[in-house]
Amino acid sequence: MQFFKVKTVEETFALIDEKISKIKETEVRALDESLHSILAEDIKADENVPGFDRSTVDGYAVIARDTYGSSESMPGFLNVTGEIHMGEVAVKPVGRGEAINVPTGGMLPPGSDSVLMIEHCEEIGGLLNTYKQIAPGENVIRSGEDIRIGEVLLTAGTKLRPQELGALAALGISEVKVYRKLKAAYLSSGDEIVPFETKTLETGQIRDINYLTVKGLANEWDIELMYGGITGDDYQEFASKARELYQQVDCLILSGGSSVGTKDYTTEVIQSLGAPGVFVHGISIKPGKPTILAVADGKPVIGLPGHPASAMIIFKLFGEQIFRRLKGEKKEQKPERIFARIVKNIASSAGRSDYIRVRLEKKDGEWWAEPIIGKSGLITTLVKSDGIVEIISEKEGISQGDYVPVILTR
């Protein structure tokens, strides 16, 4: 069997997107068991989050203009007229010249438009000394500011990360419709291959370490992997075992026997499983050129090179993309960790490390990180983010165009 025309990496990815379709079966899964699942439908908010105006800090609910002109040297004065406890409905309003003590997350009382942080004031005998002026809306999250009723929060194809689970929980959602968990099978071939547990090797024998690397990656991607064992260099044995496994799973992974040689049966076996068959036989990549990708009656089949390094690299590159397509995950063209250029200046205080949520966008062949501006209490800033930029404590900010490390959160 000779190689078909060798494909480039880019051509291979394009063919995977063209040939592999998502599974149709879905299931309803409990939210706390849905990490890394793929949504099968859009999620629309049926309530506001938060459901009431609330404080983002410990402090005093005030009317912002009552603090104008306040400073350390020239403090203002307000009458403290009450206190709001966590979980308590705020009924008593704040009037001009008044302040009510409120905890982080506490309900904002009527009439108040902002909260003065406890660090910037001092209560003495019912009188509040204000040492800083604040603006309307400062240290406050308004009802619906995080998630608004009727808003499409998440779309079908979204992978549920911890932050998506948190956002769904905030809406009171306890179960979600997702695509069912995928099941794959792995089969090694070769007279020289022996189980990885083998303590003593005979001359020429090789332990089946590819199984463990493939299994490790599959488990990281939330794929259940069935081990089909090892077959010798016998076409009938190999074909029979491959057919048996193929009928039980969503994707079949074969290791070894993908290069050109008289004992390499992988291509013939794959072709025998169903139409349309092989669409990649050889990729312009090193290591990993002798790679086979196919679709047999709707199911993908992956023929990995036997060399462990090649097998792992190929499976990481192309196996992950195949499984993402099968899962119904929205296509992403974003890397796992990168250096990106920052879109705008960001100030930071020396002596403190700041972590800024960012959205990634590719412009002119470079990744750019755009800060997602929002209050710390908004979980949707995490949902919208692709990563986090760290500004180390020794720096007093970063400038537009600087290269910054992005810790990816996808």
Name the burial class of residue 82, with classes exposed (0-12), middle (13-18) and buried (19+) by CB atoms within 10 angstroms of its CB.
middle
Number of structural domains, the chain?
Answer: 4
Q: Are residues 128 and 164 in the same domain?
A: no
Report if residue 1 sits inside a domain: no
Tokens found for residue 212: 């463990």
Report if residue 147 sits inside a domain: no
Report if residue 204 sits inside a domain: yes
Report if residue 4 sits inside a domain: no
Q: Are residues 159 and 254 in the same domain?
A: no
Q: Partners of 365 in the beta sheet?
A: none
**Tokens 């309307």, residue located:** 136
- Angle at CA 116, nearest 5°, toward 112 and 122? 120
Which CATH number goes with the domain that contains 241? 3.40.980.10
Q: Are residues 238 and 260 in the same domain?
A: yes
Report if residue 149 sits inside a domain: no
Buried/exposed code over 321-358 (b: 16+ C-beta within 10 A; e: otherwise): bbbbbbbbbeeeeeeeebebebbeebebeeeeebebbb
Domain that holds residue 62: 54-141
pLDDT at residue 262, rounded to an integer: 40
150: alpha, beta or left, given left = phi > 0 and alpha = psi -120 to 50? left
Which CATH number goes with the domain that contains 162? 3.90.105.10
Q: Are residues 370 and 381 in the same domain?
A: yes
Tokens found for residue 72: 């350390």
| E-assigned strand segments in 13-171 | 26-30, 43-44, 54-55, 59-62, 76-83, 98-102, 114-117, 121-124, 127-130, 140-141, 152-154
Report if residue 40 sits inside a domain: yes
Distance CA 403, CA 389 (A): 10
Tokens found for residue 179: 């695509």
Report if residue 131 sits inside a domain: yes
Q: Are residues 194 and 163 in the same domain?
A: no
Q: Are residues 246 and 373 in the same domain?
A: no
Q: Which of 273, 299, 327 finishes a domain?
A: 327
Distance CA 162, CA 68 (A): 41
Q: Are residues 82 and 213 in the same domain?
A: no
Q: Which of 260, 254, 288 is nearest to 272 (CA)?
A: 254
Q: Which of 277, 295, 327 finishes a domain?
A: 327
Distance CA 112, CA 81 (A): 13
Which CATH number goes with the domain that contains 110? 2.170.190.11
Report if residue 3 sits inside a domain: no
Q: Are residues 186 and 165 in the same domain?
A: no
pLDDT in tens, the chain (410 residues): 444 578 888 899 999 999 999 999 999 999 999 999 999 999 999 999 999 999 999 999 999 999 999 999 999 999 999 999 999 999 999 999 999 999 999 999 999 999 999 999 999 999 999 999 999 999 999 999 999 999 999 999 999 999 999 999 999 999 999 999 999 999 998 888 888 888 998 888 888 888 999 999 999 999 999 999 999 888 899 999 999 999 999 999 998 754 444 446 788 899 999 999 999 998 888 767 789 999 999 999 999 988 887 888 889 889 999 999 999 998 876 666 789 999 999 988 777 677 788 999 999 889 999 998 877 667 787 788 888 888 887 888 899 999 998 988 76
Q: Which of 213, 221, 153 is nearest to 188 (CA)?
A: 213
Which CATH number goes with the domain that contains 341? 2.40.340.10
Q: Is 354 helix (H, G, I), strand (E, B) or coil?
A: strand
pLDDT at residue 306, rounded to an integer: 82
Q: Are residues 20 and 164 in the same domain?
A: no
pLDDT at residue 3, rounded to an integer: 47
Q: Are residues 362 and 319 in the same domain?
A: no
Q: Which of 289, 306, 327 finishes a domain?
A: 327
Q: Are residues 137 and 164 in the same domain?
A: no
Q: Are residues 289 and 166 in the same domain?
A: no
